[in-house]
Structure 1
């Protein structure tokens, strides 16, 4: 069922270099280079639009060629793009170096422009009207902590579910004060540990995160057990190994989109989590952060394959 989804956060140039052989630290490594538009918010928005939802995106960007490229990619994905444009600033960027097998070596995030997305921006008429239309709001931790807090209060006052994308261990802590207003927070184990203040096994995440005020969350762990919980259920799934890993970038964002798509359709948490794992494995097999081949038919076929070989606990 088609829903109206408002997404706020990161939308920027995503550069990824892939080393062609064994990585040699401190030396020049042969490899290849790819540029695309990414960002946690943008990846989730693009995936949800490809699954048939009506998606509006609000993200700051500069008045440069990179900002224009973000606008073009949003249009191609069917996203209703409503940016804050700062003509004298550069659009943020993310630069990653990947191992031959697709795993991350190191990344550099130039995200200073997002600091200008202050709480005052949420009071703009266009933003308030977009919130009034939304069935779901999604945000990422590229936004400042005070903006996330104001967004959480606004979503709660309007009775609209709010989902969050952790982005990184350094940024996820921006969600701390808004956790009671978040319906779902998507994290990996390192981000969950930063938020909880301690590392844990998958079966412990719910007990550590619920007391912080978080009512629902999903924690991934590099293809191992995925933990999920809501106010009543705690669940762990051991997914089958991904058949192909081309690039890990965007896999967590695809998982979030798959889970949210299923929850919006009224699916149970176990079925939603399988749908999210399916979306993440489709992303892992693609060189793109948001796989262009993703659609509802492909997602349902992949989810059926995973459900048939998945262990629950």
Structure 2
């Protein structure tokens, strides 16, 4: 938008169309960080579907998707304010609801899953499709992106089977019933009580909280030099973190790489930040080391 947002009014601005989606954005970041990736999705036989196919090929992602010629490709339309923050958004994902669970039962999908080292999914999928994924993975890691407060609840049936859940405070509040401003320790305890073994909890410019087993820690993200677009930053965080975990890095180091990717995404007018070695190293050098959460919380309470 070129002017301040006013509800119910026409506001000058510019429209841009890009290919995205939680899993696609994250997988694109993972591939840039060295992962060999393939994607299974469904799309329509329209111009948007053709754009998606070209974007996958350009990103080096193998495509196992199915095209429905008589349907529209799922889409996400966001209104961004002058600072690049989302004011409102509309997700049209009807094709996923209609067809995705059935597609997961195809033999070719089972074969692709058997050949994979891990599965990455997001809560754009309906609950009945998400319920099939742990079994489809066959004991391999399953990573998930919460997507939104309205959709994260679709993951409730598979939370204990996830290797890591990526979510923000609004999504964590929807999942746990806590308020968004609950303390980090309260939020991690509530997420653990839902059977989640490992999670990465982001909150915009605030510190990223993560936990696994009996350990919890936080990392302060560096301030972006500019904010071009917040869309896809959380997905880049997830994708680069997953890539680092698959290379064997510990969670704290993997999240530093995820934060570096998110920083570059914030500074890019596209959901596809440049994660080549020089850009990425410069961003990673700005990300501090993780600090134990308990020590940070005690310091915060003492200061109060």
Q: Structure 1 residues 162, 296: CA separation in 2 closer, same or farther (over 3 Å shift)?
A: farther
Alignment of 1:60-79 (within 5 A): 60-79=42-61
Given the alignment, which residue of 134, 140, 165 partners 1:152? 134
> Which whole-Å CA distance do the structure 2 matches of 1:241 and 1:311 have between them?
18
Deviation at 1:132, TM superposition (A): 1.0
Given the superposition, is the C-alpha separation of residues 296 and 263 from structure 1 closer, same or farther in structure 2, using an over 3 Å criterion?
Answer: farther
Give a deviation string over 1:115-166, Cα, whole Å, max 9, x none. Answer: 12443322212111111111110001111101111112332xx220000011
Contact (CA 8 Å) 2:222, 2:263: kept in 1 or not?
no
CA drift at 1:312: 5.8
Q: Is the Cα–Cα contact under 8 Å of residues 202 and 226 in structure 1 kept in the other structure?
A: no
How many residue pairs get matched? 291
The match for 2:69 is 87
Q: 2:141 aligns with which of 161, 169, 172?
A: 161
- Counterpart Cα distance in 2 of 1:159 and 1:238: 33
Contact 2:101 2:129 in 1 (8 A): yes
**Counterparts of 1:211 and 1:117 in 2: how far apart (Å)?**
32
Quickly say closer, same or farther: Cα 1:278–1:264, change in 2 above 3 A: same
Aligned to 1:4: none
- Decide which of 94, 102, 107 is 1:120's aligned counterpart: 102
Equivalent residue in structure 2 for 1:189, among 169, 181, 201: 169
Instruction: Give TM-score, length-normalised by structure 1.
Output: 0.89
CA distance in 1, matches of 2:25, 2:60: 13
Matched, 1:286 2:268: yes
Show structure 1 runs of 5+ residues with no match: 1-18
User: What do residues 149-189 of structure 1 show as CA deviations (whole Å, max 9, x unaligned)?
Assistant: 1112332xx22000001111000000001001101110010
Residue in structure 2 matching 1:54, options 36, 41, 66: 36
Aligned to 2:299: none
Q: Within the alignment, does 1:177 sit opposite 2:157 as a pair?
A: yes
The Cα RMSD (Å) is 1.5
Give the gaps of 5 or more residues in structure 2.
Answer: 294-304
8 Å contact kept, 2:26–2:240: no
Say whether the 8 Å CA contact 1:153–1:181 is kept in structure 2.
Answer: no
1:241 lines up with 2:235 in the alignment: no
From 271, 280, 289, the equivalent of 1:299 is: 280
For residue 28 of structure 1, report the CA deviation from its aligned partner.
1.6
Q: Is the 8 A contact 1:183 1:216 kept in 2?
A: yes
Superposed structure 1 runs of 4+ greater than 3 Å apart: 117-120, 310-313
Distance 1:123 1:21 in 2: 48
2:187 matched to 1:202? no
CA shift for structure 1 position 280? 0.4
Taking structure 2 as the reference length, the TM-score comes to: 0.91
Deviation at 1:86, TM superposition (A): 1.2
Residue of structure 1 equivalent to 2:199? 217
Which residue in the other structure is 1:8 paired with?
none
Q: Distance in 2 between matches of 1:296 and 1:229?
A: 28
